[in-house]
Amino acid sequence: MSRYPAASEIFPYYLTGFRCTVATLTKDGLMTVHYPAERDSFEFRVSPEQRVTDLTEELTVEYPNGYKYVPFPRDPGDPEKDFDGAFETTGIELAYNGQIIKPDYVRLDVAATHTLDGKLHSEEKAREDAEKDAVLAADAYLMGLEKVPPDQQEDRVIAEIETAIDEFERVVVRDLHESVIQEYLTIKRNRILLDPSALSITPRVWLRKEHEIDFVVQEAEG
């Protein structure tokens, strides 16, 4: 993220700002909730009589029309079943009658007890995940996909890049005029092929009204 100081707003909200992180160990797993705060803090709790689903139900968001969003609902066939797996989600914002309704938390992580091992939950893994999210956000910004919800960005960015590469290969094998290739790379989505770490790429920039520059690449470092 430090590579993009001029455009810090491009990163997912769950990677920016201060957080109050509350982790609760239950009888069947661990729930970690990240709340926005004025300074970073961490709190650890133990609730041996409750299950993960008991705590996630407390995070239910209810809408004026009566609809309720539960992050991880109970199994209707077996409501007392232990939680199994490891999942994460961001605080989903939904629009209702022109209003944006969102939960108090910005991120929620839950994991069953048997998944709590060093390989899955380690500082190294956390840094890798955060770096991947930051890179994806930067790519989405460059490609004009910054409005895609954070939980959908990875699939969308990868799919768009693969499509751009496939189409570009078909363009260059035709042995077309340079202007055709330039026109293809002018499309906002395709500019990432020139420099995936750029902050911005601007086509057709005139220098003193005498020379036309094909592309100007603004590097993230400035």
Residue-range domain boundaries for the chain: 5-121, 127-219
Q: Give the phi and the psi of residue 142 in degrees, each rounded to 5.
A: -65, -35
Q: What share of the chain is helix, strand, coil (3-state, %, to 5)?
A: 35, 30, 35
Per-residue confidence of the chain (222 residues) as pLDDT tens digits? Answer: 877 776 667 887 777 888 999 999 999 999 999 999 999 999 999 999 999 888 888 888 887 777 787 887 777 778 788 888 888 887 777 777 777 777 888 888 898 888 887 666 678 888 888 888 888 888 998 898 888 877 788 899 999 999 999 999 999 888 778 889 999 999 999 999 999 888 889 999 998 888 999 999 998 877
8-state DSSP, 83: P
With beta carbons less than 8 A apart as the criterion, state whether 41 and 21 touch.
yes
Q: Would you state the pLDDT for residue 64?
A: 77
- Counts of helices then strands in the chain (DSSP H, E): 4, 11
